Chains A and B, each alone.
Chain A
C-alpha cells in the first residue's frame, strides 16, 4: 500500500549513506578523544594510598614511641636504588604537609597497575609479588606521594 507520493523516492534513497572514509575519520577523532582524556585514578589506587597512609601513620607512631624522632630515610646508592618514576601524588598531596620524610616500603606489585604502570618489569624480579616504593609522608603521618624504585644490584 502506497502511503506517500514520495515512497518510490524514499525506497530509491534507501542505499544512501556516508562513505567509509567519513566513518574512519570520525572514529579516529573518537579514539583521539579517548587518548586525550585525563587518566582518573582507579579506586584501587586510592585504596592503596589509604593503606599506605595507615601503614605509615602506624610506623610513625611506633617509632616515636620507641624514642626515635625521625622515620628512616633511604640513604646511599644501595638504599636509594634507582628511581623508576618521579613522585606520583597521592590522595593527600594537596594537604599542607610541613616537614616531610621519605620511607621505603614494599608494596604489592598490583600497585603499579593502579598507577597506570603496566609494563615495568624492571622494578625487580618479575616473580616477586612486591615492588619497592619510596613514600613521602608528612608529620601528620599521611602519605603525599610515592615513587617506584628498582632495587640496587648486589
Chain B
C-alpha cells in the first residue's frame, strides 16, 4: 500500500491516510501544540510519499514506520523552538528521582478533561511523549521503545515519572480549585 501510494495510486493513499492521519494528528497536537498538528500530518505524509525508491522502509509495522517519520517531524519542530529534549536532555531527565504516584488513576478520573490535557501539556517533552504514545495512542511498550529509540525499561520509568508529575500537577490544581 505504501509503495502504491508512492507511485501515485490515489486509492492506496486514501486508505493509508484514513488509517493513520488521526493518530498522527493527535500525536502532533500533544507534542507540538494543536496549531502545529496539521503541519505535522502534512510533513509526515509528504516525507513518506517522497521517499519512493528508498529500500530501507518499512522494516517495522506500517504504523510504527509512519510514527517514526512523524517523530522526526516533531523533533525538528521542537528544535526550532529550542526544545531538544527528545534527543539531548532525555538521559539527564531519566536520571532524576521521581515521587511515587499516589492514587493516580482516581485522581485523573476526578479531574476535568481540560485539566488533564493541560497537565499533560506541561510535562517535560520526553515524559509527555511517553504518556502520549503509551496511554493515549495505547502503543505496546516495546513499540514505543523502538519509536523513542530507548530501552523498554526507560519507557517504563518515563511513564512512571510522568504519572507522578501528572498526579502532583493535578493535586495542585484541585487544591487551587478548592481554595
Interface residues of A (CB under 8 A from B): 2, 4-6, 8-10, 12-13, 16-19, 21-23, 25-27, 29-37
Contact = CB atoms under 8 A, between A and B. Distances in A.
Contact of A9 (B7, B22, B52, B117): B117
Contact of A26 (B42, B106, B116, B117): B42
A17 B49 contact: no
B38 A33 contact: no
B113 A9 contact: yes
A33 B109 contact: no
Given A10-B136, A31-B8, A34-B7, A18 B49 contact: no
15 contacts: A5-B105, A5-B107, A6-B116, A9-B136, A12-B113, A18-B24, A18-B25, A26-B42, A30-B8, A30-B13, A33-B7, A33-B8, A34-B7, A37-B7, A37-B8
Contacts, number: 83
Contacts of B10: 27, 30-31, 34
B22 A8 contact: no
Interface of B: 5-10, 13, 17, 21-22, 24-26, 29, 37-38, 41-42, 45-46, 49, 52, 104-109, 113, 116-117, 120, 135-136, 138
A22 B9 contact: no
Contacts of A37: 7-8
A34 B42 contact: no
Nearest to B108: A5
A31 B37 CA distance: 24
A33 B104 contact: no
Nearest to B104: A5
A30 B109 contact: no
Given A6-B108, A9-B136, A26 B6 contact: no
A6 B135 contact: yes
B32 to A, nearest CB: 13
Which one of A4, A9, A19, A37 has the greatest number of beta carbons of chain B within 10 Å? A9
B7 A29 contact: no
A104 B171 CA distance: 90
A76 to B, nearest CB: 46
Contacts of A17: 21-22, 25
